[in-house]
């Protein structure tokens, strides 16, 4: 082995659960000082396991967006080599969106693929990207073909009516650890659109 390849590899930190825990602890501390605007709640499901998180994603602030005022519970599984690999995120609360599989909640977002993920992303920025996806769906790789076809056929009224129905009727209602959040309790982060 040449000395240049040895020195190059010794500078790179190997992926390990210990490094991931250190990073997740820092992200959790950062969330306390700078909360993520895209969510009502983001944090570990249990204090004993920093590799399993959940979030309550807020709909976009734009009142004309059919996802406005929506709330969805997301399940987040963090791999032991995080942040070198992306988290696995899926919707638990049903959502009608071209890039979300209606039955499994799987999300089609390039950020969540290993190919486009970089260690500079955080769980907070990931939630922001998922919220942005609600405003700018990609119709080239839909997981929900039915709603994607409505958009492709320029049936915006039909697509948005379907989206609004699911956004209102199947809105997050307190499942998960985040059950304590209330839109009426001050200090819980439960004010929509803020």
**Cα-Cα-Cα-Cα dihedral of 29, 83, 120, 106, to 10°?**
-100
Catalytic residue among 24, 39, 42, 108: 108
pLDDT at 178: 64
pLDDT at 34: 93
Spatial strand order of the sheet with 71-77 comes to 39-46, 49-58, 71-77, 88-91
pLDDT at 180: 57
Question: Cβ distance 178 to 73 under 8 Å?
Answer: yes
pTM of the model as a whole: 0.83
Report domain extents, the chain: 16-180
pLDDT at 176: 65
Q: Which CATH superfamily is domain 16-180 in?
A: Ubiquitin Conjugating Enzyme (3.10.110.10)
Question: In tens digits, what is the pLDDT along the chain, a chain of 194 residues?
Answer: 444 444 434 444 566 789 999 999 999 999 999 999 999 999 999 989 999 999 999 999 999 999 999 999 999 999 999 999 999 999 999 999 999 999 999 999 999 988 899 999 999 999 999 999 999 999 988 999 999 999 999 999 999 999 999 999 888 887 666 655 644 333 434 433 33
Helical segments of the chain, H only: 3-11, 17-33, 123-135, 145-152, 156-169
Q: Is 36 annotated as catalytic? A: no
Residues contacting residue 180 through CB under 8 Å, at least 6 positions apart: 188
Other C-beta atoms closer than 10 Å to the C-beta of 35 total 14
Residues contacting residue 16 through CB under 8 Å, at least 6 positions apart: 80, 81
If 0-12 CB within 10 Å is exposed, 13-18 middle and 19+ buried, where does residue 150 land?
A: buried
The whole-angstrom separation of Cα 46 and Cα 28 is: 13
């Amino acid at each position: 082995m040449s000395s240049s390849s040895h020195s190059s590899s010794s500078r790179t930190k190997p992926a390990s659960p210990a490094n991931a825990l250190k990073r997740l602890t820092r992200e959790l501390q950062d969330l306390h000082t700078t909360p993520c605007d895209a969510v009502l709640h983001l944090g570990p499901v249990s204090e004993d396991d920093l590799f399993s998180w959940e979030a309550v994603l807020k709909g976009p602030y734009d009142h004309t967006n059919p996802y406005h005022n929506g709330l969805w519970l997301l399940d987040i599984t963090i791999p032991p080599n995080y942040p070198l690999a992306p988290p696995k995120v899926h919707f638990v609360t049903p959502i009608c969106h071209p890039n979300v599989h209606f039955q499994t909640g799987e999300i089609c977002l390039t950020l969540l693929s290993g190919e486009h993920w970089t260690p500079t992303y955080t769980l907070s920025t990931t939630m922001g990207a998922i919220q942005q996806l609600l405003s700018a769906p990609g119709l080239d790789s839909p997981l929900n073909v039915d709603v994607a076809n409505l958009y492709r056929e320029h049936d915006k009224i039909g697509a948005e009516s379907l989206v609004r129905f699911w956004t209102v009727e199947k809105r997050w209602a307190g499942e998960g650890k985040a059950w304590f959040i209330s839109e009426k309790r001050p200090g819980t982060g439960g004010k929509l659109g803020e």
